[in-house]
Structure 1
Amino acid sequence: MAEQVTFYEAVGGEATFHRLVHRFYQGVAEDPELRPMYPEEDLGPAEERLRLFLIQYWGGPNTYSQRRGHPRLRMRHVPFVIDEAQRDRWLAHMRAAVEELELPEPLEKQLWDYFTMAARSLVNTPT
């Protein structure tokens, strides 16, 4: 019986998630609506948190939970006002990052479907 490959392994492991998240935060750093949501001057810690979360979510090492506990995605985002416009800006930066990975279509779709679902679930302020 063949060992099942995780999504994390199928897309290239840590290096792929590093590229994805780094490219995403390059966009966020220049975004006048999203940048103020990150209190740190250096986005490096936020980049690391997202990278570790995604690595764990997609079947890689569970370093995120070891360092930060259960992800509790919605709870961690409650302090931030997130409306549909901010969601759409977040998704635009993530879309650019995903496209740069040039993943095979089924893997890209799986990744993108997750991001759109997660982004929709974090909206907490009516527009």
Structure 2
Amino acid sequence: MDYKISKTEFGQKPHFDLPTPLFYQELGEDGLVKLFNDFYDLLVDSDISNFFPQDEEELAKVKSHNVKFFIEACGGPKYYTQAVGHFDMIKAHEPFSITEKARTEWLGCMQQVLANVDISQDAKKSFWNYLETFSKHTVNVDTGLKLPEDIVKV
């Protein structure tokens, strides 16, 4: 599958569609928990590890909290809404300086874990398309970073 990453136009908040229920149906709740445990294990060793707790106990809390959000976003039970209520993506990420480079690193870690999940390409594509667009809402620092395809070669 092609995990394309498009550039964020700083300040724009593009529309995104939630993943189709197929992703949740094929992966199941236990599969989503494993996916996000593996994902966060990659993140704490990535170039953006400074955004995530390095303490195992604290990281476990982050994993548990965030997987509730993604279970619900993927069509599963409303664990996140029951525990937290409404989620404001912009406010949740304000304390962090999130650049396009950080977003790309975050998505790169997700690419790695998705590649190892044994579900249909349609389910993966639906989830990837959601994350790729949804993640643009977290970028709150404009560094003027150019993606490789934006660089004109002479």
Bigger share in helix: 1
Q: Which has the larger radius of gyration?
A: 2
What is the alpha-carbon distance in structure 2 between the residues aligned to residue 74 and residue 100 of structure 1? 30
Deviates more, 1:94-103 or 1:38-47: 38-47
What is the alpha-carbon distance in structure 2 between the residues aligned to residue 99 and residue 68 of structure 1? 30
Match of 1:37 in 2: 51
Identity %: 25
Number of aligned residues? 122
Match of 1:57 in 2: 73
Match of 1:102 in 2: 118
Deviations 1:70-90 (A, max 9, x none): 121222111110001100110
What is the alpha-carbon distance in structure 2 between the residues aligned to residue 26 and residue 92 of structure 1? 13
RMSD between aligned residues: 1.7
Greater length-normalized contact order (CA 8 Å, ≥ 6 residues apart)? 2
> Paired residue for 1:74, among 90, 95, 110?
90
What is the alpha-carbon distance in structure 2 between the residues aligned to residue 95 and residue 71 of structure 1? 24
What is the alpha-carbon distance in structure 2 between the residues aligned to residue 101 and residue 107 of structure 1? 10
Q: Which runs of 5+ in 1 are unaligned?
A: none
Shift of residue 102 of structure 1?
Answer: 2.6
Deviations 1:13-70 (A, max 9, x none): 2111012101101111111x32211246231111111211010111111111111111
Shift of residue 95 of structure 1?
Answer: 0.8
Calculate the TM-score normalised by the size of structure 2. 0.73
1:8–1:60: 8 Å Cα contact kept in structure 2? no
> Paired residue for 1:15, among 22, 25, 30?
30
Q: Does 1:28 align with 2:51?
A: no
Calculate the TM-score normalised by the size of structure 1. 0.87
